[in-house]
Amino acid sequence: MSKTIFYHAGCPVCISAEHDIINLIGKDNVEVVHIGENRSRIEEAEKLGVKSVPALVTPNGNVLHINFGALIADVKG
The residues that touch a second copy, with contacts defined as CB under 8 A, are 4, 16-17, 20-21, 23-25, 29, 56, 58-60, 62, 64-68
| Separation CA 51–CA 45 (nearest Å) | 8
Q: In the complex, what is the shortest distance from the CB of residue 40 to a second copy, in angstroms, rounded to a whole number?
A: 26
Closest CB to a second copy among residues 26, 39:
26
User: Over the Cα atoms of the chain, what is R_g?
Assistant: 11
Q: In the complex, what is the shortest distance from the CB of residue 41 to a second copy, in angstroms, rounded to a whole number?
A: 21
Closest CB to a second copy among residues 39, 51:
51
| Separation CA 77–CA 74 (nearest Å) | 5
| Contact call for residues 55 and 39 (beta carbons, < 8 A) | no
Q: Kindly report the number of other CB atoms within 10 A of residue 55's CB atom.
A: 24
Closest CB to a second copy among residues 12, 77:
12
